[in-house]
Homo-oligomer: A and B are copies of this chain.
Amino acid sequence: MDAKPDVDGRRVCAELDKLATFSDADPPDVTRVLFTQQDLAARAYLKGLFAEAGLTIRQDAVGNLFARWPGTEAELPAVATGSHTDAIPHSGRYDGTVGVLGALEAIRALARTGLRPRRSIELIMFTSEEPTRFGLGCLGSRLLTGSLDPQKAGQLVDFEGQSLEQVRSDAGLEGAMASVRLPAGAYSAFVELHIEQGPILEQEGLDIGIVTAIAAPATLRVTLRGAGGHAGATLMPGRRDAFLAAAEIALAAERAALESGSADAVATTGFCRIHPGAVNSIPSRAVLEIDVRDIRLGVRDRMVTEIRRAAQEVAGRREVTLTIDTLNADPPAECDPSIVAVVRAACAGRGVSSMPMVSRAYHDSLFMARIAPTGMIFIPCRGGISHRPDEFASPEAIERGVGVLAETLYRLASQ
Protein backbone atom coordinates (compact mmCIF):
# COMPACT_ATOMS: atom_id res chain seq x y z
CA MET A 1 0.00 0.00 0.00
CA ASP A 2 1.03 3.56 -0.56
CA ALA A 3 1.11 4.92 3.00
CA LYS A 4 1.98 2.67 5.93
CA PRO A 5 -0.69 2.94 8.62
CA ASP A 6 1.01 4.18 11.76
CA VAL A 7 -0.26 2.09 14.67
CA ASP A 8 -0.36 3.44 18.24
CA GLY A 9 0.37 0.40 20.41
CA ARG A 10 0.44 2.42 23.65
CA ARG A 11 -3.07 3.66 23.04
CA VAL A 12 -4.30 0.09 22.54
CA CYS A 13 -2.61 -0.95 25.81
CA ALA A 14 -4.17 1.96 27.67
CA GLU A 15 -7.58 0.95 26.35
CA LEU A 16 -6.91 -2.69 27.30
CA ASP A 17 -6.05 -1.53 30.83
CA LYS A 18 -9.23 0.49 31.02
CA LEU A 19 -11.32 -2.41 29.71
CA ALA A 20 -9.79 -4.64 32.41
CA THR A 21 -11.35 -2.44 35.08
CA PHE A 22 -14.81 -3.68 34.06
CA SER A 23 -14.47 -6.82 36.12
CA ASP A 24 -16.05 -8.76 38.96
CA ALA A 25 -12.68 -9.84 40.40
CA ASP A 26 -9.98 -7.94 42.24
CA PRO A 27 -7.07 -6.87 39.98
CA PRO A 28 -5.05 -8.30 38.37
CA ASP A 29 -7.76 -10.95 37.93
CA VAL A 30 -10.43 -10.21 35.35
CA THR A 31 -13.92 -11.77 35.50
CA ARG A 32 -16.42 -10.52 32.94
CA VAL A 33 -19.35 -12.81 32.31
CA LEU A 34 -22.04 -12.34 29.69
CA PHE A 35 -24.65 -9.68 30.51
CA THR A 36 -23.48 -9.05 34.06
CA GLN A 37 -23.36 -5.40 35.10
CA GLN A 38 -19.61 -5.32 34.38
CA ASP A 39 -20.08 -6.85 30.94
CA LEU A 40 -22.76 -4.27 30.12
CA ALA A 41 -20.49 -1.48 31.37
CA ALA A 42 -17.63 -2.79 29.20
CA ARG A 43 -19.96 -2.82 26.19
CA ALA A 44 -20.95 0.80 26.86
CA TYR A 45 -17.26 1.76 27.06
CA LEU A 46 -16.57 0.05 23.71
CA LYS A 47 -19.56 1.72 22.03
CA GLY A 48 -18.18 5.05 23.18
CA LEU A 49 -14.77 4.28 21.62
CA PHE A 50 -16.37 3.10 18.36
CA ALA A 51 -18.50 6.25 18.17
CA GLU A 52 -15.47 8.44 18.91
CA ALA A 53 -13.71 6.81 15.94
CA GLY A 54 -16.64 7.80 13.74
CA LEU A 55 -17.76 4.23 13.08
CA THR A 56 -21.36 3.24 12.34
CA ILE A 57 -22.63 1.08 15.19
CA ARG A 58 -25.21 -1.69 15.11
CA GLN A 59 -26.13 -4.22 17.76
CA ASP A 60 -28.06 -7.40 17.02
CA ALA A 61 -30.60 -9.31 19.10
CA VAL A 62 -27.99 -11.37 20.98
CA GLY A 63 -25.66 -8.44 21.62
CA ASN A 64 -23.08 -8.89 18.86
CA LEU A 65 -21.74 -5.40 18.31
CA PHE A 66 -20.81 -4.17 14.80
CA ALA A 67 -18.81 -1.02 14.08
CA ARG A 68 -18.40 -0.18 10.38
CA TRP A 69 -15.90 2.03 8.60
CA PRO A 70 -17.54 2.59 5.21
CA GLY A 71 -15.56 1.95 2.04
CA THR A 72 -15.84 3.92 -1.18
CA GLU A 73 -18.08 1.18 -2.59
CA ALA A 74 -20.23 0.58 0.46
CA GLU A 75 -22.57 -1.80 -1.37
CA LEU A 76 -19.80 -4.44 -1.69
CA PRO A 77 -19.50 -7.21 0.91
CA ALA A 78 -17.37 -5.82 3.73
CA VAL A 79 -14.16 -7.18 5.22
CA ALA A 80 -14.82 -8.20 8.83
CA THR A 81 -12.50 -8.39 11.82
CA GLY A 82 -12.99 -8.72 15.55
CA SER A 83 -13.02 -10.98 18.57
CA HIS A 84 -14.64 -11.08 22.02
CA THR A 85 -14.38 -9.15 25.28
CA ASP A 86 -15.97 -11.56 27.77
CA ALA A 87 -13.50 -13.12 30.21
CA ILE A 88 -13.73 -16.36 32.18
CA PRO A 89 -13.56 -16.05 35.98
CA HIS A 90 -10.17 -14.92 37.27
CA SER A 91 -8.50 -14.63 33.89
CA GLY A 92 -6.43 -11.90 32.29
CA ARG A 93 -6.79 -8.84 30.08
CA TYR A 94 -5.58 -9.89 26.59
CA ASP A 95 -7.59 -12.92 25.48
CA GLY A 96 -10.12 -11.67 22.90
CA THR A 97 -9.78 -8.02 23.86
CA VAL A 98 -6.60 -7.55 21.76
CA GLY A 99 -8.64 -8.57 18.71
CA VAL A 100 -11.34 -5.99 19.45
CA LEU A 101 -9.32 -2.98 20.58
CA GLY A 102 -6.53 -3.93 18.15
CA ALA A 103 -9.03 -3.94 15.28
CA LEU A 104 -10.32 -0.54 16.38
CA GLU A 105 -6.78 0.87 16.31
CA ALA A 106 -6.16 -0.79 12.91
CA ILE A 107 -9.20 1.04 11.51
CA ARG A 108 -8.19 4.31 13.18
CA ALA A 109 -4.66 3.95 11.76
CA LEU A 110 -6.03 3.28 8.27
CA ALA A 111 -8.32 6.30 8.57
CA ARG A 112 -5.34 8.44 9.62
CA THR A 113 -3.55 7.61 6.33
CA GLY A 114 -6.29 9.46 4.45
CA LEU A 115 -6.69 6.48 2.14
CA ARG A 116 -10.03 4.78 1.88
CA PRO A 117 -10.37 1.26 0.41
CA ARG A 118 -13.26 0.05 -1.79
CA ARG A 119 -14.80 -2.26 0.74
CA SER A 120 -16.13 -1.29 4.14
CA ILE A 121 -14.30 -2.74 7.13
CA GLU A 122 -16.53 -4.00 9.92
CA LEU A 123 -15.36 -4.62 13.45
CA ILE A 124 -17.37 -7.29 15.31
CA MET A 125 -17.40 -7.77 19.07
CA PHE A 126 -18.88 -11.25 19.39
CA THR A 127 -21.21 -12.13 22.26
CA SER A 128 -19.97 -14.75 24.73
CA GLU A 129 -17.10 -16.49 23.04
CA GLU A 130 -16.42 -18.01 26.44
CA PRO A 131 -18.80 -20.77 27.60
CA THR A 132 -18.83 -19.51 31.20
CA ARG A 133 -22.47 -18.61 31.61
CA PHE A 134 -24.38 -21.00 29.33
CA GLY A 135 -21.90 -23.87 28.99
CA LEU A 136 -21.59 -23.22 25.23
CA GLY A 137 -18.92 -20.97 23.75
CA CYS A 138 -19.13 -18.72 20.67
CA LEU A 139 -22.83 -17.97 21.15
CA GLY A 140 -22.63 -14.85 19.02
CA SER A 141 -20.63 -16.28 16.11
CA ARG A 142 -22.65 -19.51 16.12
CA LEU A 143 -25.88 -17.54 15.72
CA LEU A 144 -24.39 -15.18 13.12
CA THR A 145 -23.32 -18.09 10.97
CA GLY A 146 -26.41 -20.29 11.34
CA SER A 147 -24.43 -22.81 13.39
CA LEU A 148 -26.92 -22.84 16.29
CA ASP A 149 -30.68 -23.09 16.19
CA PRO A 150 -31.99 -19.70 17.41
CA GLN A 151 -34.81 -21.30 19.40
CA LYS A 152 -32.47 -23.75 21.12
CA ALA A 153 -30.11 -20.87 21.86
CA GLY A 154 -32.89 -18.94 23.60
CA GLN A 155 -33.64 -21.95 25.76
CA LEU A 156 -30.08 -22.39 27.04
CA VAL A 157 -30.11 -21.93 30.81
CA ASP A 158 -27.39 -20.74 33.13
CA PHE A 159 -26.63 -22.19 36.57
CA GLU A 160 -29.24 -19.98 38.18
CA GLY A 161 -31.84 -21.42 35.82
CA GLN A 162 -32.19 -18.23 33.75
CA SER A 163 -32.57 -18.64 30.01
CA LEU A 164 -30.51 -16.77 27.42
CA GLU A 165 -33.83 -15.44 26.10
CA GLN A 166 -34.51 -13.97 29.54
CA VAL A 167 -31.09 -12.49 30.25
CA ARG A 168 -30.71 -10.90 26.82
CA SER A 169 -34.15 -9.34 27.29
CA ASP A 170 -33.10 -8.10 30.75
CA ALA A 171 -30.04 -6.61 29.04
CA GLY A 172 -32.38 -4.57 26.86
CA LEU A 173 -31.85 -6.53 23.63
CA GLU A 174 -34.85 -6.73 21.33
CA GLY A 175 -35.77 -8.52 18.11
CA ALA A 176 -36.06 -12.21 17.34
CA MET A 177 -33.04 -14.41 17.96
CA ALA A 178 -33.48 -15.69 14.38
CA SER A 179 -32.72 -12.19 13.08
CA VAL A 180 -29.09 -12.53 14.21
CA ARG A 181 -28.10 -14.78 11.30
CA LEU A 182 -26.17 -12.92 8.62
CA PRO A 183 -27.28 -13.03 4.99
CA ALA A 184 -25.14 -15.13 2.65
CA GLY A 185 -22.13 -13.25 1.33
CA ALA A 186 -22.26 -10.57 4.00
CA TYR A 187 -18.46 -10.52 4.21
CA SER A 188 -15.74 -11.05 1.62
CA ALA A 189 -13.29 -12.05 4.36
CA PHE A 190 -12.88 -12.37 8.14
CA VAL A 191 -9.60 -11.90 10.02
CA GLU A 192 -9.15 -12.22 13.79
CA LEU A 193 -6.17 -10.91 15.75
CA HIS A 194 -5.50 -12.89 18.94
CA ILE A 195 -2.79 -13.76 21.46
CA GLU A 196 -1.33 -17.20 20.76
CA GLN A 197 -2.29 -18.71 24.14
CA GLY A 198 0.64 -21.06 23.66
CA PRO A 199 4.45 -20.79 23.95
CA ILE A 200 5.60 -21.41 20.39
CA LEU A 201 6.12 -17.87 19.04
CA GLU A 202 7.98 -16.88 22.20
CA GLN A 203 10.16 -19.99 22.02
CA GLU A 204 10.89 -19.43 18.33
CA GLY A 205 11.50 -15.69 18.80
CA LEU A 206 9.01 -14.82 16.06
CA ASP A 207 6.56 -11.91 15.83
CA ILE A 208 3.48 -13.35 14.16
CA GLY A 209 1.74 -16.72 13.87
CA ILE A 210 -0.27 -17.15 10.69
CA VAL A 211 -3.00 -19.60 11.58
CA THR A 212 -3.74 -22.33 9.06
CA ALA A 213 -6.23 -24.43 11.06
CA ILE A 214 -8.26 -24.14 14.27
CA ALA A 215 -8.86 -27.07 16.61
CA ALA A 216 -12.33 -27.42 18.10
CA PRO A 217 -13.32 -28.86 21.45
CA ALA A 218 -15.96 -31.34 22.29
CA THR A 219 -17.50 -30.38 25.61
CA LEU A 220 -19.34 -32.93 27.74
CA ARG A 221 -21.51 -32.16 30.75
CA VAL A 222 -21.56 -35.22 32.98
CA THR A 223 -24.29 -35.34 35.63
CA LEU A 224 -24.22 -38.01 38.33
CA ARG A 225 -27.09 -38.67 40.69
CA GLY A 226 -26.49 -40.92 43.68
CA ALA A 227 -27.90 -40.95 47.19
CA GLY A 228 -27.18 -38.40 49.88
CA GLY A 229 -27.19 -38.99 53.59
CA HIS A 230 -25.48 -38.18 56.86
CA ALA A 231 -21.72 -38.53 56.63
CA GLY A 232 -21.53 -39.99 60.12
CA ALA A 233 -24.55 -42.26 60.23
CA THR A 234 -24.43 -43.82 56.76
CA LEU A 235 -21.96 -46.70 56.68
CA MET A 236 -19.70 -47.19 53.65
CA PRO A 237 -21.29 -50.30 52.11
CA GLY A 238 -24.25 -49.32 49.95
CA ARG A 239 -23.25 -45.68 49.64
CA ARG A 240 -23.92 -44.16 46.22
CA ASP A 241 -21.62 -41.15 46.41
CA ALA A 242 -21.97 -38.97 43.30
CA PHE A 243 -18.72 -37.08 43.90
CA LEU A 244 -16.56 -40.18 44.10
CA ALA A 245 -18.00 -41.29 40.75
CA ALA A 246 -17.20 -37.82 39.38
CA ALA A 247 -13.63 -38.05 40.71
CA GLU A 248 -13.08 -41.34 38.89
CA ILE A 249 -14.49 -39.91 35.65
CA ALA A 250 -12.25 -36.81 35.78
CA LEU A 251 -9.25 -39.11 36.16
CA ALA A 252 -10.49 -41.28 33.29
CA ALA A 253 -10.70 -38.18 31.06
CA GLU A 254 -7.08 -37.36 31.84
CA ARG A 255 -6.10 -40.97 31.06
CA ALA A 256 -7.99 -40.84 27.74
CA ALA A 257 -5.84 -37.89 26.64
CA LEU A 258 -2.56 -39.35 27.92
CA GLU A 259 -3.22 -42.68 26.21
CA SER A 260 -4.59 -41.25 22.95
CA GLY A 261 -1.26 -41.55 21.18
CA SER A 262 -1.48 -37.90 20.10
CA ALA A 263 0.80 -35.26 21.62
CA ASP A 264 -1.84 -32.63 20.80
CA ALA A 265 -4.65 -34.41 22.65
CA VAL A 266 -5.94 -32.65 25.78
CA ALA A 267 -8.82 -33.37 28.15
CA THR A 268 -9.67 -31.03 31.00
CA THR A 269 -12.28 -31.18 33.73
CA GLY A 270 -12.47 -27.48 34.48
CA PHE A 271 -15.84 -27.44 36.20
CA CYS A 272 -17.18 -29.50 39.10
CA ARG A 273 -20.15 -28.74 41.31
CA ILE A 274 -21.44 -31.05 44.02
CA HIS A 275 -24.72 -31.08 45.89
CA PRO A 276 -25.50 -30.42 48.70
CA GLY A 277 -21.85 -29.48 49.26
CA ALA A 278 -21.70 -29.81 53.05
CA VAL A 279 -18.78 -31.50 54.77
CA ASN A 280 -21.03 -33.79 56.79
CA SER A 281 -23.30 -34.85 53.95
CA ILE A 282 -22.70 -37.49 51.28
CA PRO A 283 -22.83 -35.84 47.83
CA SER A 284 -26.07 -36.83 46.13
CA ARG A 285 -25.29 -35.07 42.87
CA ALA A 286 -22.21 -34.00 40.97
CA VAL A 287 -21.84 -32.15 37.67
CA LEU A 288 -18.61 -32.13 35.68
CA GLU A 289 -17.80 -30.32 32.47
CA ILE A 290 -15.06 -31.91 30.40
CA ASP A 291 -13.29 -30.23 27.48
CA VAL A 292 -11.70 -32.60 24.93
CA ARG A 293 -9.53 -31.45 22.01
CA ASP A 294 -7.21 -32.51 19.29
CA ILE A 295 -6.32 -30.98 15.94
CA ARG A 296 -7.55 -34.18 14.31
CA LEU A 297 -11.25 -34.84 14.61
CA GLY A 298 -10.76 -38.63 14.66
CA VAL A 299 -8.41 -38.51 17.67
CA ARG A 300 -10.76 -36.19 19.54
CA ASP A 301 -13.79 -38.34 18.88
CA ARG A 302 -11.97 -41.47 20.03
CA MET A 303 -11.18 -39.73 23.34
CA VAL A 304 -14.84 -38.75 23.75
CA THR A 305 -15.88 -42.35 23.15
CA GLU A 306 -13.38 -43.59 25.73
CA ILE A 307 -14.53 -41.04 28.35
CA ARG A 308 -18.16 -42.06 27.78
CA ARG A 309 -17.25 -45.73 28.16
CA ALA A 310 -15.35 -45.11 31.37
CA ALA A 311 -18.16 -42.96 32.78
CA GLN A 312 -20.66 -45.71 32.13
CA GLU A 313 -18.46 -48.29 33.81
CA VAL A 314 -17.97 -46.07 36.89
CA ALA A 315 -21.67 -45.18 37.14
CA GLY A 316 -22.72 -48.82 36.85
CA ARG A 317 -20.24 -49.98 39.48
CA ARG A 318 -21.13 -47.19 41.91
CA GLU A 319 -24.87 -47.43 41.21
CA VAL A 320 -25.29 -43.77 40.35
CA THR A 321 -27.40 -42.46 37.49
CA LEU A 322 -25.37 -41.01 34.63
CA THR A 323 -26.39 -38.38 32.10
CA ILE A 324 -23.93 -37.08 29.51
CA ASP A 325 -24.89 -34.02 27.48
CA THR A 326 -22.71 -33.03 24.55
CA LEU A 327 -22.60 -29.26 24.94
CA ASN A 328 -20.71 -28.90 21.70
CA ALA A 329 -18.66 -30.99 19.31
CA ASP A 330 -17.71 -28.82 16.38
CA PRO A 331 -15.38 -29.94 13.63
CA PRO A 332 -12.01 -28.17 13.33
CA ALA A 333 -11.75 -25.42 10.67
CA GLU A 334 -9.21 -24.72 7.95
CA CYS A 335 -8.17 -21.15 7.32
CA ASP A 336 -8.59 -19.92 3.74
CA PRO A 337 -5.34 -20.15 1.74
CA SER A 338 -6.02 -16.81 0.07
CA ILE A 339 -6.32 -15.07 3.45
CA VAL A 340 -3.23 -16.89 4.73
CA ALA A 341 -1.38 -15.54 1.69
CA VAL A 342 -2.52 -11.96 2.33
CA VAL A 343 -1.46 -12.14 5.99
CA ARG A 344 1.93 -13.49 4.90
CA ALA A 345 2.31 -10.61 2.43
CA ALA A 346 1.26 -8.13 5.13
CA CYS A 347 3.94 -9.50 7.47
CA ALA A 348 6.51 -9.13 4.73
CA GLY A 349 5.23 -5.63 4.00
CA ARG A 350 5.62 -4.64 7.67
CA GLY A 351 8.98 -6.37 7.95
CA VAL A 352 7.97 -8.67 10.80
CA SER A 353 8.87 -12.34 11.15
CA SER A 354 6.18 -15.00 11.00
CA MET A 355 5.46 -18.71 10.89
CA PRO A 356 2.40 -20.79 10.01
CA MET A 357 0.79 -22.51 12.97
CA VAL A 358 -2.38 -24.22 14.16
CA SER A 359 -4.62 -22.82 16.87
CA ARG A 360 -5.20 -25.28 19.69
CA ALA A 361 -7.68 -22.90 21.29
CA TYR A 362 -10.92 -22.27 19.42
CA HIS A 363 -12.18 -18.84 18.48
CA ASP A 364 -15.12 -17.13 16.80
CA SER A 365 -13.10 -17.67 13.60
CA LEU A 366 -14.03 -21.35 13.84
CA PHE A 367 -17.60 -20.37 12.96
CA MET A 368 -16.89 -17.34 10.78
CA ALA A 369 -14.93 -19.72 8.53
CA ARG A 370 -18.29 -21.28 7.64
CA ILE A 371 -19.56 -18.11 5.93
CA ALA A 372 -16.44 -16.24 4.79
CA PRO A 373 -12.82 -16.92 3.83
CA THR A 374 -11.16 -16.65 7.25
CA GLY A 375 -7.72 -16.17 8.71
CA MET A 376 -6.16 -15.50 12.12
CA ILE A 377 -3.15 -13.47 13.21
CA PHE A 378 -1.44 -14.60 16.43
CA ILE A 379 0.94 -12.56 18.54
CA PRO A 380 3.20 -14.03 21.25
CA CYS A 381 2.14 -14.01 24.91
CA ARG A 382 4.52 -14.46 27.83
CA GLY A 383 5.15 -18.11 28.69
CA GLY A 384 2.21 -19.14 26.54
CA ILE A 385 0.02 -18.36 29.54
CA SER A 386 -3.66 -17.56 29.05
CA HIS A 387 -6.91 -17.78 31.03
CA ARG A 388 -4.90 -16.63 34.02
CA PRO A 389 -4.38 -13.23 35.67
CA ASP A 390 -0.70 -13.27 34.66
CA GLU A 391 -1.57 -13.48 30.95
CA PHE A 392 0.63 -10.85 29.22
CA ALA A 393 1.37 -9.57 25.74
CA SER A 394 3.93 -6.77 25.38
CA PRO A 395 2.99 -3.36 23.92
CA GLU A 396 5.53 -4.04 21.15
CA ALA A 397 3.96 -7.38 20.26
CA ILE A 398 0.52 -5.81 20.26
CA GLU A 399 1.66 -2.93 18.08
CA ARG A 400 3.23 -5.31 15.57
CA GLY A 401 0.09 -7.46 15.50
CA VAL A 402 -2.18 -4.46 14.99
CA GLY A 403 0.10 -3.23 12.19
CA VAL A 404 -0.14 -6.58 10.39
CA LEU A 405 -3.92 -6.59 10.91
CA ALA A 406 -4.24 -3.05 9.52
CA GLU A 407 -2.21 -3.92 6.45
CA THR A 408 -4.14 -7.20 5.97
CA LEU A 409 -7.49 -5.44 6.25
CA TYR A 410 -6.43 -2.76 3.80
CA ARG A 411 -5.26 -5.32 1.25
CA LEU A 412 -8.47 -7.37 1.60
CA ALA A 413 -10.67 -4.28 1.45
CA SER A 414 -8.90 -3.12 -1.69
CA GLN A 415 -9.58 -6.40 -3.54
Contact = CB atoms under 8 A, between A and B. Distances in A.
A384 to B, nearest CB: 7
A213 to B, nearest CB: 13
A72 interface: no
B251 A269 contact: no
A130 B278 CA distance: 9
A381 B306 CA distance: 43
Contacts of A277: 89, 270-272
Nearest to A252: B247
Interface in A224-252: 228-236, 241, 243-244, 246-248, 250-251
A371 interface: no
Interface in A93-147: 130-132, 135, 137
A71 interface: no
Interface stretch (A50-58, A149-157, A385-393): A385-393
A362 B248 CA distance: 30
A279 B283 contact: no
Interface residues of A, number: 69
Contacts of A248: 247, 251
A360 B89 CA distance: 40
A163 interface: no
Nearest to A264: B235
Contacts of A267: 236
A291 B231 contact: yes
Interface centre among A132, A248, A258, A268 (most CB of B within 10 A): A268
Contacts of A271: 274, 277-279
Contact of A279 (B228, B232, B291): B291
Given A244-B250, A254-B241, A385-B229, A278 B88 contact: yes
A251 B241 contact: no
Given A88-B280, A243-B270, 8 more contacts: A89-B277, A132-B279, A232-B266, A243-B269, A268-B280, A271-B279, A281-B387, A284-B388
